[in-house]
């Protein structure tokens, strides 16, 4: 990352995370779709960056900070705040903030465009190997299937899995003729 941008962002933010105000572990975060310039980047702390990049680790309470940062004068900060509030809207309070949130047309278009460009949730097996739809996996322990007397035995191969779109911890597959949801931490990719 170009040092010039980081300097510009440190000056703009007063050496603080532009989302939560933390002063530690600051780095440049490019707000997609980005041209790499300071106007399309924010300065963010490791906690914010980590949770943005790994939505499954998001701690809603951390993002109470958006209550303040959504009023930033910086479009890139507003865009991130808007996207994060949208991700969290199921919590209730983010919806209240979104209802108050004003974005001009250009900024709103940017905020919405970036959502599509965000990386999709990634499904990985017990070893961290990425899983894809259609893969075959092996169960690494006996699993009781919810709502049935079926136990899916350790070592069972499950072919042609499906990824649960909004939950990186779940896949679906057929065991003994029954379509079941399986936690990714209990499977190993075969082959
Ligand atoms: Zn932060």
Q: Decide: 26 and 44 in contact? Cβ < 8 Å.
A: yes
**Ligand 1 centroid – CA 116 distance (Å):** 23
The pLDDT score that the predictor gives to residue 60 is 95
DSSP state letter for 92: S
Q: What is the pLDDT of residues 8-63, one digit of tens each?
A: 999 999 999 999 999 999 999 999 888 889 999 999 999 999 999 998 899 999 99
Closest to 32 (Cα-Cα) out of 41, 19, 24: 41
Report d(CA 77, CA 85) in Å as an integer: 12
10 phi/psi in degrees, rounded to 5: -65, -40
**Ligand 1 centroid – CA 25 distance (Å):** 9
**Ligand 1 centroid – CA 64 distance (Å):** 11
**Ligand 1 centroid – CA 44 distance (Å):** 5
**Ligand 1 centroid – CA 96 distance (Å):** 21
Q: What is the pLDDT of residues 132-184, one digit of tens each?
A: 989 999 999 999 887 778 899 999 999 999 988 778 899 999 998 888 999 99
Q: What is the pTM of this model?
A: 0.61
Closest to 67 (Cα-Cα) out of 36, 90, 93: 93
Position 119 confidence tier, pLDDT thresholds 50, 70, 90 = low
Report d(CA 145, CA 151) in Å as an integer: 6
**Ligand 1 centroid – CA 179 distance (Å):** 41
Which residues have their alpha-adjacent CB atom under 5 A from ion ligand 1? 17, 19-20, 22, 45, 48
The encoded tokens of residue 146 equal 């919810």
pLDDT at 116 over 80: no
**Ligand 1 centroid – CA 72 distance (Å):** 14
**Ligand 1 centroid – CA 68 distance (Å):** 12
| Average pLDDT over all residues of the chain | 91
The pLDDT score that the predictor gives to residue 19 is 98
pLDDT at 115 over 70: no
Report d(CA 58, CA 106) in Å as an integer: 27
More confident: 33 or 129: 129
Cis peptide before 33 (omega within 30 of 0): yes
């Amino acid at each position: 990352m170009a040092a010039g941008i980081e300097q510009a962002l440190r000056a703009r933010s007063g050496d603080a995370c532009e989302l939560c105000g933390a002063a530690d572990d600051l780095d440049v975060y490019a707000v997609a779709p980005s041209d790499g310039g300071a106007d399309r980047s924010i300065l963010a702390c490791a906690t914010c960056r980590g949770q943005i990049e790994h939505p499954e680790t998001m701690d809603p309470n951390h993002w109470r900070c958006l209550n303040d940062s959504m009023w930033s004068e910086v479009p890139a900060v507003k865009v991130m705040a808007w996207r994060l509030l949208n991700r969290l809207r199921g919590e209730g309070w983010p919806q209240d903030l979104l209802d108050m949130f004003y974005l001009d047309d250009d900024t709103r278009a940017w905020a919405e465009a970036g959502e599509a460009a965000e990386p999709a949730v990634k499904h990985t097996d017990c070893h961290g190997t990425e899983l894809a739809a259609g893969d075959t996996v092996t169960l690494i322990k006996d699993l009781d299937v919810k709502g049935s007397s079926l136990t899916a035995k350790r070592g069972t191969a499950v072919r042609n899995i499906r990824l649960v779109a909004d939950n990186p911890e779940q896949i679906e597959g057929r065991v003994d003729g029954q379509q079941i949801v399986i936690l990714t931490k209990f499977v190993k990719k075969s082959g």
